[in-house]
Amino acid sequence: MIITNNLVKKYGDFTALDKLVLSVKEGEIYCLLGANGAGKTTAINLLLGFIEPTSGSAFINQLDVKENPLETKRFLAYIPENLMLYPSLSAVENLDYFSGIGGKSMNKNQLEGFLEEAGLQPEAFHKRIESFSKGMRQKVGIAIALAKDAKVLLLDEPTSGLDPKASNEFGHLLRKLKGKGVATLMATHDLFRAKEVATHIGIMKDGQLRQQFVTSDISLSQLEKTYLETMEYKTLTS
């Protein structure tokens, strides 16, 4: 569902992404780890078609993103670090609006059903988004993905700033989408959440994918050690 083939993005002499090769199949969750500036967000923006590659190619559902920018967006949903919703509208109204953009027409019960499936409490359905916590807004984002019947989910630091409870709930929602066959690519700094939810993990540095793992093949302590070594950080010893 997601393929990058030697994907490169340069800004003048600066290489933001260097020959990225990865793939994410249906029902897989691929977490990209790395420090700020590692190239994670650049990769996601290329898959979204927000920017064009210098060379290489990106595919969503076997369609070249550069050649089919509108068609590929039909298959995906995107949740950034700070999800942009209309603050003066309710959760139901936001969901109705964004579903309409995606060509979906739904009644009130259907809209509320998607919000409930995304874990939002019923008493919040008709409250204005401006009163929502970040965790609640992210649930509306998941509801939009569910209503759109998205096959691909692109996430850029979606758990940043969430408290442990909200982060755990978000992880549960990702596993639910995994069960529906959604292919997910998530950029994150959170090693623990990556180990908990991902089927595959990659570690990026200086625009390059330096390490890749099947998550079940590595422990959290091994992941942490490998991450620190890749970043060339020194570990603290007692």
pLDDT in tens, 135-182: 999 999 999 988 888 999 999 998 888 888 888 888 988 999 999 999
pLDDT band at 236 (very low <50, low <70, confident <90, very high): very low
CB crowding 59-76: b at 16 or more within 10 Å, else e: bbbeeebeebeeebbbbb
d(CA 114, CA 180): 14
Q: Would the pLDDT of 59 be above 70?
A: yes
Per-residue model confidence (pLDDT) at position 237: 41
d(CA 142, CA 148): 10
Write down the pTM of the prediction: 0.90
The helix-helix angle for 134-148 and 164-179 (nearest 10°) equals 10
Per-residue model confidence (pLDDT) at position 238: 34
d(CA 73, CA 185): 15
% of the chain surpassing 70 pLDDT: 97
Q: Which two tokens stand for residue 93?
A: 């109204």
pLDDT in tens, 93-113: 999 998 887 777 889 999 999
- φ and ψ of 215, to 5 deg: -60, -35
Per-residue model confidence (pLDDT) at position 229: 92
